[in-house]
Structure 1
Amino acid sequence: MPAASLIVSPVATPAERDVFIRFAWEVYRDDPLWVPPLIPMQREFLDPQKGPFFEFGQARYFLARRDGRVVGRISAHVNGLYEKHHDNETGFFGFFECENSRETAHALFDAAADWVRGHGKTKLHGPLSFSIYDEVGLLVAGFDSPPCMMHTHNPPYYEDLVTSWGFAKTYDWYAYKIGWKPGLDAKKMAKMRDAILKRQNCAILPIERKDFAKRGPQIKELFNDIWSKNWGHIPLTDRQFRDIFVTLQPLVRPDLESMILDGDDIVAFSVVSPDMNRSVKKFNGKFGWWQKLRLLYDCRVRPLTHCRAIIMGVAKSHQWKRLHHAIILNIMVNFLENHPRMDYCDCSLIPESLEQWNKTLCDYGGERYKVFRLYDRVI
């Protein structure tokens, strides 16, 4: 019997793009931890006419088929903003899903490498789907717990598929969980928080929904400035900021978002969201009116059990003044006082190079429970 033929071809139609999306169900059909993506949102995200990435980037999608059956997928993309802030040599891959076959994986990486090489690139980097503030990295540690919102999730064998093609580690990102252990004293932590704020003549306040339109642009500019020196940072565009933060606003409880003010200037902030994956998992990719109402109820009304601290930051002018301690203490105090059913809060993604934040999270009982790795290879 002749060997089954493997063919990798570009996605050419919206119907094939749906095949690209739905292949994930084949990979994870026996994985109880996997959270299916919301198909309508994924369609828009991948659509060159609608997705925010395509304001500054280009992408091509590929499917691997063996005797007509889909056995893998990958995207290849180039990012104009990355080139503006970093280098012109790097192209990217993402949305990688594959059967447990080096042959299939290597054929997909070859296709992605050929495409970015055709755009003048000499290095392939990833996985990024699409940018550093979307889904980042390959999960290499922490396979025993479900992915939090905006986390990647993959089978353990993916690491072999990636490294066997010649990729080498570039950078790690960490996820921590802060759980609520016996003996935590909300009053004591509130005093510690207030003492830090008093020394710096600052105040901490929730970000009310009615204030978000006013404060949102300040937060975006502060975020872009704070993260400008971090590995791989690309400033968020207005569209990306709206998609990530403003879209979350109807779902996020005001007490979960806070800002530290020095006068009227925001000098630190945190955005914490209910972990939507706990609800989204039940939808199995659907996102109609019923699912939207269910998600709204779960996030706004239902007692919280799991959250994700999506972003925390302190202005460069106020770093080394322990305001990052005040932010973390404020999150913990709020959970202890107002959300007694909270199991843990995920704090991620933290770059491996941010030693100050990594140490502080550990000081407050944070447990590093997932590691996401980025790779690159000269092509």
Structure 2
Amino acid sequence: MPLLLEVTSPALVRQFLDLPARLYQNQPQWISPLDPEIEAVFDPAKNPNFAHGEAIRWVLTDEAGTTIGRVAAFINHEAPQSDPTLRVGGMGFFECEDDQTAANILFEACHQWLASRGLAAMDGPINFGERDRFWGLLTDGFTEPNYGMFFHQPYYQQLFEQYGFEIYFRQYTCYREVAAPLHQAFYKAFDKYAQQYPTFRFEHARKRNAEKLAHDFHHVYNLAWANHSGISPMSLDKARDLVKQMQPVLDERLLWFAYHHDEPVAFFVSLPELNQLFKHVSPRFGLLSKLRFLWEKRKYQARSDKKMFGVIFGVVPAWQGQGVESALMVHARAEFMRAGYQDIEMNWIGDFNPRMLAVTRSIGARIFKTHVTYRYLFDREREFERSPIIR
């Protein structure tokens, strides 16, 4: 009989972290997330969501004591809710052998824990944190995962759906070759705004001016993205913290802004695709791994076939639909190529955001991977509704 154990000791933490290495040992596409980054999610001293939420995690063992599954559940009482009549919690960090009974035990543990705290549904697999990490189940495009995202076993989809999870929204990761030509309309926009210099200008950030980078990012993010479904406004201190965290891996040539009279009105923020470095180091990320990372980073910077990851793209509402994003893309693409970047994958876009998907298609990108965020309603008679579309 399988045994469900709450993770409350260092030994059980180790079982939680080590399970994926066994499940994916025959899949070379898998790249392990770093253990310290997983553990930070469950550390109240490092995860601010504990200030207004709580989390729990379990491992599942068989009769011989072998770990066969793991999962976590969490509540964020301040998370935006698209439906005020439905209080939704989260589950995630799911890994399991191909065993529906075992998976159901893990899912049911999350269900009961959340229901006992007054919640009416759970979304999963998601993160106890922001949507840019550890969010969604991979269902198509089983290639190397980008940094901050999980690779999943193909059979996980059946485990979720057999239990009763339904698709809340699909998440699309898009890809393009950096050197692929842009539509002529992009160059018309480029010429239009070139004639308005210096009223309009386009430039990449400077690492040495971290405070300006934080201010500019904070300004555009809150105007372009905050108050979308599931996205909260960002404080300036949070923006400063993000810049500080990214400093060791930033390539300033990948951080592009458009300015109107010195006001930032659009951004396209990217990073080197860090899993191309982390796949060479141990997930425990001790001293030797950190030294190996620095060596791999130095080698990677010299390459002319680098891969980049588009983190976020946005235009403040007052300038949307006026070609600013097109002109920005022409400037950025030229610099990306000079810096030796060959491929770009972009942070996922939900199917609830058709406008942003259209923008992505307009630059010649195609869907390369699909993740799914599922929802499970505890009242099985309640009518299921998909995520609202952003208009």
TM-score under structure 2 length normalisation: 0.87
Which residue of the partner structure matches residue 369 of structure 2? 370
| Number of positions where the alignment pairs a residue of Structure 1 with one of Structure 2 | 371
- Structure 2 counterpart of 1:277, from 275, 278, 294: 275
- Which runs of structure 2 are paired with 1:129-144 in the superposition (5 Å)? 129-131=127-129, 132-143=131-142
Say if 1:45 and 1:238 are closer, same or farther in 2 by CA, change over 3 A: farther
Residues 101-145 of structure 1, C-alpha deviations (whole Å, 9 max, x = no match): 1111111010011111122101011111223232211111111x2
| SS of match in other structure, 2:368 | strand
Answering whether residue 41 of structure 2 is matched by residue 35 of structure 1, we say: no
> How far 1:295 sits from its partner (Å)?
5.1
Answering whether residue 43 of structure 2 is matched by residue 47 of structure 1, we say: yes
Which residue of the partner structure matches residue 381 of structure 2? none
Say if 1:126 and 1:239 are closer, same or farther in 2 by CA, change over 3 A: farther
Query: Is the 8 Å Cα contact of residues 82 and 229 (structure 2) preserved in structure 1?
Result: no
Residues 178-225 of structure 1, C-alpha deviations (whole Å, 9 max, x = no match): 11467x389996664242464694211111012221230341243133
- Which runs of structure 2 are paired with 1:111-190 in the superposition (5 Å)? 111-131=109-129, 132-143=131-142, 145-180=143-178, 184=181
Query: Is the 8 Å Cα contact of residues 186 and 336 (structure 1) preserved in structure 2?
Result: no
Answering whether residue 60 of structure 2 is matched by residue 61 of structure 1, we say: no
Alpha-carbon distance in structure 1 between the residues aligned to 2:48 and 2:296: 23
Alpha-carbon distance in structure 2 between the residues aligned to 1:240 and 1:22: 31
Alpha-carbon distance in structure 2 between the residues aligned to 1:19 and 1:185: 48
- Structure 2 counterpart of 1:267, from 253, 265, 273: 265
| SS of match in other structure, 2:167 | strand
Which residue of the partner structure matches residue 252 of structure 1? 250
Say if 1:98 and 1:113 are closer, same or farther in 2 by CA, change over 3 A: same
Alpha-carbon distance in structure 1 between the residues aligned to 2:366 and 2:278: 25
Query: Is the 8 Å Cα contact of residues 182 and 363 (structure 2) preserved in structure 1?
Result: no
Structure 1 gap ranges (5+)? none
Query: Is the 8 Å Cα contact of residues 252 and 299 (structure 1) preserved in structure 2?
Result: no
Structure 2 gap ranges (5+)? 379-391
Query: Is the 8 Å Cα contact of residues 274 and 299 (structure 1) preserved in structure 2?
Result: no
Query: Is the 8 Å Cα contact of residues 173 and 349 (structure 2) preserved in structure 1?
Result: yes
Which residue of the partner structure matches residue 355 of structure 1? 354
Answering whether residue 94 of structure 2 is matched by residue 93 of structure 1, we say: no
Residues 133-165 of structure 1, C-alpha deviations (whole Å, 9 max, x = no match): 32211111111x211222221011110000111
> How far 1:373 sits from its partner (Å)?
0.8
Which residue of the partner structure matches residue 20 of structure 1? 16
Alpha-carbon distance in structure 2 between the residues aligned to 1:280 and 1:255: 21
Say if 1:109 and 1:205 are closer, same or farther in 2 by CA, change over 3 A: same
- Structure with bigger helix share is 1
Alpha-carbon distance in structure 1 between the residues aligned to 2:281 and 2:170: 31
TM-score under structure 1 length normalisation: 0.89
> How far 1:75 sits from its partner (Å)?
0.6
> How far 1:332 sits from its partner (Å)?
2.0
| SS of match in other structure, 1:96 | strand
In percent, how many aligned pairs have the same letter?
23
Q: What amino acid is the match of 1:120? A: G
Answering whether residue 67 of structure 2 is matched by residue 70 of structure 1, we say: yes
Deviates more, 1:70-79 or 1:363-372: 363-372
Say if 1:327 and 1:101 are closer, same or farther in 2 by CA, change over 3 A: farther
Alpha-carbon distance in structure 2 between the residues aligned to 1:197 and 1:232: 36
Alpha-carbon distance in structure 2 between the residues aligned to 1:147 and 1:34: 7
Deviates more, 1:149-158 or 1:127-136: 127-136
